[in-house]
A and B are shown apart, each in its own frame.
Chain A
């Protein structure tokens, strides 16, 4: 398997623009996670899905952030409008289920977002 695939790998945009990050999980995985990593705040869980259904979005910073998973092989994280404080590395991860919950997660290479 190719692992978790994320695109783009780098994104530079101006404040106020819409940004869409994309993720293709490992085939057959039941869970999909979106994380954000910064030096200041470390690794933060934004939202996760089980069988394409959002389970917990309490980590989404504000209404400017939204995530969708229209099918088992694709998810998007959208920021509209973007702000400089959104600059971070965004990771997607997926996992199989074990005992009613997620098992070890496999991470994508990340998208480095810079908002100027």
Chain B
């Protein structure tokens, strides 16, 4: 069975500091991994994905994520947080070997960046 966990409901950081939003996953095969962001009263917006290759993936708005197979993690990072990064962040996973299955989304982590 596929699953994804976001262990923190909320992450608080000061503007200019680095941020990390954590995600761990469980699949029987190899994963496709995704990060999405949701701003208030908006739909989810795709940020970045890991499919294969380089473990460090760069995405929109200066975000990046590192795939760690041994720790089954895909943490979202940004070197310097902006107040405008405050939003709800979702991690999602799909098992490459499970044809036809939908993405499994985590419960979301609220990121709050203070000025």
Contacts and interface: CB of A to CB of B under 8 A. Distances in A.
Interface of A: 4, 31, 33, 42-43, 45, 48, 50, 55-56, 91, 93, 98-110
A43 B102 CA distance: 13
Contacts of A104: 34, 46, 49
A107 B102 CA distance: 14
Contacts of B45: 107
Nearest to B90: A43
Given A43-B90, A98-B32, A105-B103, 13 more contacts: A43-B107, A43-B108, A48-B102, A55-B100, A55-B102, A93-B44, A100-B99, A100-B100, A102-B94, A102-B103, A105-B46, A106-B46, A110-B42
Q: Chain B binding site: helix, strand, loop or mixed by DSSP?
A: loop
Interface string B24-57: 0000000010101000001111100101000000
B2 to A, nearest CB: 11
Interface residues of B, number: 22
23 contacts: A4-B43, A42-B107, A42-B108, A43-B107, A45-B102, A45-B105, A55-B100, A55-B102, A93-B43, A98-B51, A99-B96, A99-B99, A101-B98, A101-B100, A102-B94, A103-B32, A104-B49, A105-B46, A105-B103, A107-B43, A108-B43, A109-B42, A110-B42
B95 to A, nearest CB: 8
Contacts of A107: 36, 43-45
Contacts of B99: 99-101
A91 B44 contact: yes
A51 B98 CA distance: 18
Interface in B56-106: 90, 94, 96, 98-103, 105
